[in-house]
């Protein structure tokens, strides 16, 4: 009888414990469900903005706007993500690549997600194009931004080629097929063609800023002479909404998305140990180095005969 | 020894006597009920824990592994240990060992109240208490297995422990031999790889 009583007590304790665990489990499930439904995604835009898949290795791809667009799509499809913070640290890049990402950001906003920009050291030119496509822009007072404009680099190596005895024969299908070739002077007609293209891209850039910042077009044109601004100046001119760092931007995004309490952060493109071991090597370490490298590449650009368009189209 | 309550009480508090009696009676239906209760109740607790941790997709996998693993361990363990016990000169039956080993899972039920106790503790103590609880239960089950081996085959504690760890020792020796052979084969290979 004594043994039976002891075992019944043990049985009751176990049964109550199971009920307790079920209760604790349900509470934790509710909490985790609540936390899962209020996330802020961080997408990093770093370095020169270029289209394509970037650098590829056997195991992964890195860089290139295709990856950024993929991350934007993932954030769009994830119902738990209420807002996206775009952390921009870029001196600019290709107009088409910037436009492509900018359009995806607009679609993301159209789906009801809040998109906020946090500018790092530099968010100029193409970097600003992307920022203009977001709901709110945060910059540090010393961030370099602006540089709203377009340029197409062209180097004339004609004299050098003559000195070293190089003469290139060309069989062209049309008079402008080798436009911007480095081994001859550009004609005034060709200059006019390129100027029209540059103006067209510039106008598109101005339209993006006008629409995104809800500013007067003429006011944007005055600011968009290609100069750079500090974050402080940009705030006074209306190109930036708030001065603050990435955490201020996260808080701001949380408020805009109506997230109560501390938001859960989900970082995209985070460097994993796998990535560090097998990912592509980042040889150009600083943004200044990237900028110089990019510029040097453009200056040394030698036109390829099969190119349909010039190799580099920089938003600057 | 009478009803199931008396048997379970004795398994927890008078294990030597209980194991001797279980081995004699060989009450297989009773053993099966105790074994499955001892497996299902902790699994139920684990289900709530995994659900709380947001690992709902892995619940079925964990439960499957736990049930299948426990049954394999019970059947295969009985077969291997019985063979080894006979090699070591033991005089017992495989059914007797099978019955007693089924009851060695019973202390696992007690992990449920211990987990509830751990769950209400501060976060810093929670993991420690849960780990200690799991280790205590594991040690208890191991102690019951050794007791079962002693009572079924009339072994001394040292011999029972030896029978229990022999499969582990064999695996260790095989692994060491395999590594040695593979290692020596690799060092003999020409260096043009």
Q: Which of B8, B44, B52 sits opposite A7 (nearest CB)?
A: B8
Q: CA-to-CA distance for A127 and A151, rounded, in angstroms?
A: 15
Rounded to whole angstroms, the Cα distance separating B64 from B81 reads: 25
pLDDT of A312 strictly over 80: no
For residue A32, the distance in angstroms to the closest alpha carbon of chain B comes to 7
- Using a CB-CB distance cutoff of 8 angstroms, which residues of chain A are in contact with residue B5? 3-4, 7-8
Does residue A123 have a pLDDT over 90?
Answer: yes
Q: Can you tell me the distance from the alpha carbon of B189 to that of B193, in angstroms, rounded to the nearest whole number? A: 9
Q: Which of A14-23, A43-52, A212-221 has the lowest mean pLDDT?
A: A14-23
Report how far Cα A211 is from the mean position of its chain's Cα atoms.
19
How many other C-beta atoms lie within 10 A of the C-beta of residue A104? 20
Nearest Cα to Cα of residue A284 among A10, A55, A52, A4: A55
- Find out whether B34 and B102 touch, Cβ atoms under 8 Å: yes
pLDDT of residue A310: 39
Gap between the Cα atoms of B56 and A36, Å rounded: 14
Give yes or no for a contact between A51 and A103, defined as CB atoms under 8 angstroms apart.
Answer: no
Look up residue A26 and give its two tokens: 């349900």
Q: What pLDDT was estimated at residue A292?
A: 47
Please give the ipTM for the structure prediction: 0.79
The pLDDT confidence band at residue A20, using thresholds 50, 70 and 90, is confident
Tell me the mean pLDDT in the region B79-98.
92
The minimum CA-CA distance between B37 and chain A, rounded to whole Å, is 11
Task: State the smallest CA–CA distance between residue B5 and chain A in angstroms.
Answer: 5
| Strand, coil or helix: A314 | strand
Give the chain B residue nearest A5 (alpha carbons). Answer: B5
Distance CA A125, CA A142 (A): 16
Is residue A300 scored above 50 in pLDDT? no
User: What's residue A29's pLDDT?
Assistant: 63
- Asked if B33 is an interface residue toward chain A (Cβ–Cβ < 8 A), one would say no
Distance CA B138, CA B124 (A): 23
Q: How far apart are CA B77 and CA B165, in angstroms?
A: 11
The backbone region for A180, taken as left when phi is positive above 0, alpha when psi lies in -120 to 50, beta otherwise, is left
Query: How many angstroms separate the CA atoms of A290 and B67, rounded?
Result: 58
**What's phi and psi for A266, nearest 5 deg?**
-125, 115
CB–CB contact B45 A7 (8 Å): no
Place of tokens 């990435």: A246
For residue A29, which residues of chain B lie inside 8 Å, CB to CB? 51-52, 54
Residue of B45, B51, B113 with shortest CB distance to A29: B51
**Is B9 in Cβ contact with A17 (below 8 Å)?**
no
Digit-coded pLDDT (tens) for A161-183: 999 998 888 899 999 998 998 88
B46 touches chain A (CB under 8 A): no
Which pLDDT belongs to residue A5?
87
Pick B52's closest partner by Cβ from A7, A13, A24.
A24
What are the tens digits of pLDDT across the range A87-97? 999 999 899 99
Predicted confidence at residue A38, as pLDDT, reads 82
* Helix B15-25 vs helix B123-153: crossing angle, to nearest 10: 50
Contacting residues of A for B44, CB less than 8 Å apart: 18
What is the pLDDT confidence band of residue A63, given thresholds at 50, 70 and 90?
A: low
Distance to chain B for A115, nearest Cα, Å: 28
Collect all residues of chain B within an 8 Å Cβ-Cβ radius of residue A3: 5-6, 9-10
Range B95-123 average pLDDT: 88
**Residue A125 appears among annotated catalytic residues:** yes
Per DSSP, the three-state class of A60 is coil
Indicate the average pLDDT of chain A: 83
Q: Which residues does A contribute to its contact with B (CB < 8 Å)?
A: 3-4, 6-8, 10, 13-14, 16-18, 20-22, 24-29, 32, 36
Bridge partners of A229, per DSSP, are A145
**Cβ atoms of A10 and A55 closer than 8 Å:** no
- Cβ distance B110 to A14 less than 8 Å, yes or no, reads yes
Q: What is the mean pLDDT of chain B?
A: 86
Q: Are A158 and A138 in contact (CB under 8 A)?
A: no
Mean pLDDT of A14-26: 80
Asked whether the beta carbons of residue A3 and residue B109 sit closer than 8 angstroms, the reply is: no
- Provide the number of CB pairs (under 8 Å) joining chain A to chain B: 63
What is the tens place of the pLDDT at every residue in B28-73?
A: 999 999 999 999 888 888 777 776 666 666 677 778 888 888 999 8
Other Cβ atoms within 10 Å of A185 Cβ, number: 11
Q: Where are the alpha helices (DSSP H) in chain A?
A: 2-36, 65-77, 95-110, 126-132, 158-164, 188-213, 217-223, 231-237, 246-257, 273-278, 287-299
Structure confidence at residue A309 as a pLDDT band (50, 70, 90): very low
Catalytic-role residue among A29, A170, A172, A177: A177
* Contact criterion met (CB < 8 Å) for B44 and A4: no
CA distance A79 to B157: 60
Instruction: Give pLDDT, residue A273.
Output: 53
Residue A108 pLDDT class (50, 70, 90 cuts): very high
């Amino acid at each position: 009888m004594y043994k039976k009583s002891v075992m019944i007590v043990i049985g009751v304790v176990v049964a109550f414990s199971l009920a307790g665990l079920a209760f604790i489990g349900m509470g934790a499930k509710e909490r985790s469900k609540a936390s899962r439904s209020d996330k802020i995604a961080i997408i990093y835009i770093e370095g020169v903005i270029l289209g394509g898949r970037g650098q590829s290795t056997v195991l992964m791809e890195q860089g290139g706007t295709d990856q950024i667009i993929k991350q934007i799509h993932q954030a769009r499809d994830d119902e738990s993500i209420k807002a996206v913070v775009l952390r921009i640290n870029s001196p600019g890049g290709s107009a088409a690549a910037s436009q492509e990402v900018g359009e995806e950001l607009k679609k993301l906003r159209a789906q009801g997600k809040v998109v906020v920009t946090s500018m790092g050291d530099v968010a100029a030119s193409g970097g600003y194009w992307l920022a203009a496509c977001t709901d709110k822009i945060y910059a540090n007072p010393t961030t370099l931004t602006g540089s709203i404009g377009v340029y197409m680099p062209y180097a004339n190596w004609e004299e050098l080629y003559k000195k070293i005895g190089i003469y290139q024969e060309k069989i062209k299908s049309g008079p402008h097929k080798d436009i911007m070739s480095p081994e001859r002077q550009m004609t005034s007609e060709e200059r006019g063609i390129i100027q029209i293209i540059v103006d067209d891209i510039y106008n598109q850039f101005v339209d993006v800023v006008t629409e995104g910042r809800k500013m007067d077009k003429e006011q944007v044109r005055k600011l968009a002479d290609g100069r750079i601004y500090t974050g402080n100046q940009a705030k006074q001119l209306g190109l930036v909404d708030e001065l603050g760092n990435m955490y201020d931007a996260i808080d701001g995004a949380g408020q805009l998305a109506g997230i109560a309490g501390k938001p859960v952060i989900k970082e995209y493109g985070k460097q994993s140990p796998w990535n560090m071991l097998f990912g592509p090597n980042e040889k150009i370490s600083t943004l200044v180095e990237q900028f110089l490298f990019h510029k040097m590449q453009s200056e040394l650009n030698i036109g390829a005969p099969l190119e349909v368009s010039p190799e580099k189209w920089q938003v600057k | 020894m009478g009803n199931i309550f008396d048997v379970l009480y004795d398994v927890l508090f008078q294990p030597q006597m209980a194991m001797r009696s279980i081995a004699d009676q060989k009450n297989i239906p009773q053993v099966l009920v105790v074994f499955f209760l001892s497996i299902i109740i902790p699994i139920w607790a684990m289900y709530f824990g995994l659900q709380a941790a947001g690992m709902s997709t892995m619940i079925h996998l964990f439960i499957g592994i736990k049930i299948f693993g426990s049954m394999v361990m019970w059947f295969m363990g009985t077969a291997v240990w019985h063979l080894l016990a006979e090699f070591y000169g033991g005089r017992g039956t495989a059914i007797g060992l099978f019955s007693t080993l089924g009851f060695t899972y019973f202390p696992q039920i007690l992990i449920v109240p211990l987990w509830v106790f751990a769950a209400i503790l501060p976060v810093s103590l929670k993991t420690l208490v849960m780990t200690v609880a799991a280790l205590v239960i594991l040690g208890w089950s191991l102690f019951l297995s050794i007791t079962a081996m002693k009572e079924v085959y009339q072994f001394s504690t040292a011999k029972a422990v030896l029978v229990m760890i022999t499969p582990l020792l064999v695996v260790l020796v095989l692994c060491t031999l395999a590594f040695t052979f593979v290692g020596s084969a690799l060092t003999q290979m020409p260096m043009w790889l």
